């Protein structure tokens, strides 16, 4: 008789939900960190995550104030509420850090990501790739007889969905920028 491969407590719809109710759920948070634009600051911020075993799902960095020499680091990470609070507190203690904002809890925010897809194919697959790109509002930024490069901007879920559609059509390469995010509404 074959054994069933059912993960213990894996379904919230099961009558036999065996998950420990005392364990807090892991949450995804987007953090915006304003820092001095100087050598070694990014390494210190990333070192904080690496040294404590925290994972970074997405990371973007760019200078946002040329006169004040400030950069904005947008970090998407996951953890329990206590872990997220600990990350924010430890980020705030790093000397060149000026502001730490948790965009997930402070207010509604807008998140976008840019991705480039190289899709190789001929014949019907090539035509289908163009159709899908049109539906997803992806722009053709390069075209050869063998491939296209599409540019798409949107939520992480939209980019993941587009990638899933392009794989059977000849997805050869993919480059993503990571999440850029801003809080909606008036700046305090």
Q: For residue 33, which of 69, 70, 68, 58 has the smallest C-alpha distance?
A: 70
Query: Could you give the domains of the chain?
Result: 27-106 (3.30.70.260), 110-183 (3.30.70.1150)
Mean pLDDT by 10 residues, the chain (188 residues): 55 58 82 94 92 92 94 94 92 92 92 96 93 96 95 96 96 95 84
State residue 97's pLDDT score: 92
Helix, coil or strand: residue 146: coil
State residue 151's pLDDT score: 98
State residue 88's pLDDT score: 94
State residue 22's pLDDT score: 66
DSSP 51-107: HHT--EEEEEEEEEETTTTEEEEEEEEEE-HHHHHHHHHHHHHSTTEEEEEEHHHHS
State residue 185's pLDDT score: 86
CA distance linking residue 164 with residue 173, whole number of Å = 13
Two tokens at 32? Answer: 């915006």
Two tokens at 158? Answer: 């939209």
State residue 4's pLDDT score: 56
At 48, give phi and psi (nearest 5°). Answer: -60, -45
Supply the pTM of this predicted model: 0.78
State residue 10's pLDDT score: 52
């Amino acid at each position: 008789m074959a054994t069933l491969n059912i993960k213990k407590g894996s379904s919230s719809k099961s009558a036999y939900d065996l998950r420990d109710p005392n364990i807090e759920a892991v949450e995804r948070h987007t953090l915006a960190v304003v820092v001095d634009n100087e050598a070694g600051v990014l390494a210190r911020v990333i070192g904080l995550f690496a040294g404590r075993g925290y994972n970074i799902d997405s990371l973007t960095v760019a200078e946002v104030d040329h006169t004040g020499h400030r950069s904005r680091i947008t970090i998407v990470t996951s953890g329990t509420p206590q872990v997220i609070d600990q990350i924010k507190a430890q980020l705030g203690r790093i000397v060149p850090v000026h502001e730490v904002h948790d965009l997930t809890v402070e207010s509604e925010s807008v998140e976008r990501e840019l991705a480039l897809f190289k899709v190789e194919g001929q014949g019907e697959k090539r035509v289908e790739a163009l159709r899908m790109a049109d539906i997803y509002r992806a722009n053709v930024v390069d075209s050869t007889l063998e491939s296209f490069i599409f540019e798409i901007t949107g939520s992480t879920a939209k980019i993941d969905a587009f990638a899933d559609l392009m794989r059977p059509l000849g997805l050869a390469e993919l480059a993503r920028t990571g999440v850029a995010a801003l809080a909606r509404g008036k700046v305090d």
